[in-house]
Amino acid sequence: MSQDDVSLSSGVNRSFLSEIENGKSSPTLDTINKIAKALNISPEEFLKFSVSEPLKTYDGEVFKKP
């Protein structure tokens, strides 16, 4: 789905969706529910796939995949 499709289905502004996607804004739980419903998935599933792996560890070392 395009951002426009998700925006129309969820009622969430397309520019806000872009900000969420680019990590510039954080959605409320209500917004997460709206987006998940528009994507036809559970909020839990939405959050599961929206969390990226860290690039660095807490001590600043570069994160290496096993």
pTM of the predicted structure, to 2 decimals: 0.71
Buried b (16+ CB within 10 A) or exposed e, 26-63: ebeeebbebbbebbeeeeeebeeeeeeeeeeeeeeeee
pLDDT for the residue 28: 94
CA 66 to chain centre: 25
Cα–Cα distance between 21 and 40 in angstroms, integer? 18
Residue-wise pLDDT for 2-58, tens only, equals: 999 999 999 999 999 999 888 888 899 999 999 999 999 999 888 876 556 556 556
